[in-house]
Amino acid sequence: MKGVFFASVTALAISASMAQAADPAVVYDQAGKFDKSFNEGVYNGVKKYTTDSGIQVREFEPKNEAQVEQGLRRLAKRGYSPIVTVGFNMTSAVEKVAKDFPNINFTLIDGVIDLPNVQSVIFKEHEGSFLVGALAAMASKTDMVGFIGGMDIPLIRKFGCGYEQGVKYASSSATVFQNMTGSTGAAFNDPTKGSELAKSQFSKGADVVFAAAGGTGIGVYQAAKDEGKLAIGVDSNQNHIQPGTMLTSMVKRVDQAAYKTYKDAAAGTWKPGMVVLGLAEGGVDWALDDNNASLVSADMKAKLKDIRAKIVSGDIKVHDYMSDNTCNY
């Protein structure tokens, strides 16, 4: 009887673990899963996992900040696990809910929480931004380029600082204009303001602008097209949004972070703790496809390949703004 009891307990444990792995969920941020940027990158990972596994991922799109914690609690109560949460602004809500539901696993993208049931995935955005900065300097005819950030926070300044370093590496005489869109989460979803800031930078002489601003970037790319200038996308490969205008995109593989969370959970190999993804890990990069191939010469490609290898090897050290909240390099 003892052996039968243990066998049945083991069977129950296995079936419970399989049931948990089969009930994954995702909570997007307020920009929604079709923001053509950060959230959509995660959505692409969710979609791929469902296609590959046949397992449906429960999705929740909060309309305001209060709904984030409410949605997380509802999913946790219903036993969904792991729950992928999208963006640094969810850190507080995830921390509260994860403490209340220690048996539910959470993956937080772009934030750090030290709890035994939370995996924190962060990226070396400064490395990818360095690459596109170098490319911007190579493509510029005026030796003047721009950066437009979304919400003015250290994470977005990390993009801007990496970009500036890449620009100066490729052209020490270059000028880099920088503007932030705002001081609240709404700054990631304001295409009109993005367009205004881009036009202002173009009027000063910039001919390539990198937007790290979520949905706000859509306005930047439209302005670049209207003015016959170049733009650089962010997070997802945005080259298709304005083909011929998009010089490249600084790709941040949030899709892989989401996909790997679900796959690892299903295999029983998901672990809490910090995961850091840079160039060496394939977590960030620049995008080349049919939409921008005509804008990137063989010489540019060769130079970027060399720069990329030097960052990975440590020959080029890219300063991380968030290490000391300065852009001194």
Render pLDDT for 71-130 as a digit per residue (tens, 0 to 9). 999 999 999 999 999 999 899 999 999 999 999 999 999 999 999 999 999 999 999 999
> Model-level pTM?
0.86
Let me know if residue 5 belongs to a domain: no
Query: DSSP labels for 140-191?
Result: -SSSEEEEEEEE-SHHHHHHHHHHHHHHHHH-TT-EEEEEEEESSGGGGS-H
Q: Are residues 219 and 305 in the same domain?
A: yes
Does residue 251 sit in helix, strand or coil? Answer: strand
Domain identity same for 140 and 113? no
In this predicted structure, what is the pLDDT of residue 16?
A: 40
308 and 168 housed in the same domain? yes
Residues paired with 107 in a beta bridge: 84, 119
Beta-strand (E) ranges in the chain?
25-27, 58-60, 83-86, 106-109, 118-123, 144-151, 175-182, 208-212, 230-235, 246-252, 273-277, 284-286
Say yes or no: 240 and 261 in one domain. no
Domain identity same for 35 and 179: no
In total, how many domains does the chain have?
Answer: 2
Per the prediction, the chain carries an average pLDDT of 92
Query: Is 9 among the domain residues?
Result: no
Q: Same domain for 178 and 218?
A: yes
CATH number of the domain that 158 lies in? Answer: 3.40.50.2300
**Is residue 118 helix, strand or coil?**
strand
In a domain, 10, yes or no: no
Q: CA separation (Å) from 32 to 37, 57, 149, 261?
A: 10, 16, 19, 20
Residue 78 belongs to what domain range?
A: 25-123+255-281
Domain assignment present for 18: no
Residue 20 included in any domain: no
pLDDT tens track, the chain, 329 positions: 444 433 444 333 433 443 344 599 999 988 788 887 789 999 999 999 999 999 999 999 999 888 999 999 999 999 999 999 999 989 999 999 999 999 999 999 999 999 999 999 999 999 999 999 999 999 999 999 999 999 999 999 999 999 999 999 999 999 999 999 999 988 998 999 999 999 999 999 999 999 999 989 999 999 999 999 999 999 989 999 999 999 999 999 999 999 999 999 999 999 999 999 999 999 999 999 999 999 999 999 999 999 999 999 999 999 999 999 999 99
Same domain, 219 and 264: no
pLDDT at position 100 is 98
Residue where the block lists tokens 């929604």: 32
Q: Are residues 207 and 305 in the same domain?
A: yes
pLDDT value at residue 37: 79
Does residue 166 fall inside a structural domain? yes
Provide the 10 A C-beta neighbour count for residue 171: 17
Q: Is 44 domain-assigned?
A: yes
Which tokens in the block code for residue 198?
A: 């881009």
Does 70 map to a domain? Answer: yes
- Helix axes of 154-170 and 125-139: crossing angle, nearest 10 degrees: 40
| Per-residue pLDDT tens over the stretch 297-312 | 999 999 999 999 999 9
> Does 69 share its domain with 186?
no
- 40 and 70 both lie in a single domain: yes
